[in-house]
Structure 1
Amino acid sequence: MEIKEYDAKYQSQLEHIYLTARQDTFSWIDTSDYQLSDFLEDTKGEKIWVAEDQTGVLGFIAVWSQDQFIHHLYVDKKAQRKGVGKRLVNTVSQYYHQAIRLKCLCNNQNAIQFYQSQGFKILSKGVDKAGDYLFLQRD
């Protein structure tokens, strides 16, 4: 597996991963209006890294660099639990050399467990239009 900086050649595969992962994960939200085009709009202005192997794109992480804030981390269903998310998070940690932060919806227990296993600590809780969330940080 290689981690590479985003290139437009990955767009189609990332759009598919972004759409299907959100539809599969966010069962408590109405996802019927999610579209492939959401990827470009939702990652606008963010630094993106892509995980890829010989089979294709496995996942991506997108960071709002001004705040070292992980805005998106999605892994294709067939590649989950194979170290892809860990490699992407570690890439971001090495790039920024400082604390990285994120919000994770409380209903997304698999993601919360993953982030905590990667050293993220809960700083606070909040609520937005998608529901209750945790604000996490990794030093």
Structure 2
Amino acid sequence: MQIRPFKEPDRPRLRALYLDSRQAAFTWRETQHYRLEDFDRSTRGEEIWVAERDGSLLGFVSIYRADNFIHNLYIDPHLPPQGVGSALLHAAEQTFTTTGSLKCLVKNAKALAFYHKHGWQIISPGCDGGEEYYLMYSPQR
């Protein structure tokens, strides 16, 4: 597996992966209104890194560089666990110039467990659009 910068030909596959991943992860939401184009809006102005193996895209992470903020980290939900999320998270952390941050939805227990396993700490709770989240910081360097 390699982690590499996004290329424009990746867009169609990442759109589909983003849609599938969100529908699989957000079981408490009504997701039928989600669209392929949501990927474009969600990653606009962000640095995107993709995980690829043998020409197949496995997942991606997008980072808002100005704030060392991970905005999206999604893995193909049809894949068995194989360290893709960990590799993408590590790659993102390597680009941080200071402590990294992200927001994780309170109801997303699987994602919270993943970030805790990697040393991320909850700093404060918050609410956006009626949905509770935790602001998390990366491990200290």
TM-score (norm 1): 0.95
- Tell me, yes or no, if the aligned pair for 2:51 and 2:58 is still in contact at 8 Å: yes
- Tell me, yes or no, if the aligned pair for 1:3 and 1:52 is still in contact at 8 Å: yes
Residue 100 (structure 1) shift: 0.9
1:100 is the counterpart of 2:100:
yes
Aligned residues: 139
Report the equivalent of 1:137. Answer: 137
Structure 1: segments with no counterpart, 5+ residues: none
- Tell me, yes or no, if the aligned pair for 2:68 and 2:97 is still in contact at 8 Å: no
Amino acid at match of 1:106: V
- Identity among equivalent positions (%) equals 37
Q: How does 1:37-76 map to 2 (within 5 A)?
A: 37-54=37-54, 56-76=56-76
Residue 95 (structure 1) shift: 1.5
Q: CA RMSD in A?
A: 1.2
1:25 is the counterpart of 2:25:
yes
Residue 78 (structure 1) shift: 3.0
Amino acid at match of 2:82: K
Report the equivalent of 1:15. Answer: 15
Structure 2: segments with no counterpart, 5+ residues: none
- Tell me, yes or no, if the aligned pair for 1:29 and 1:130 is still in contact at 8 Å: no
**CA separation in 1, counterparts of 2:17 and 2:130?**
20
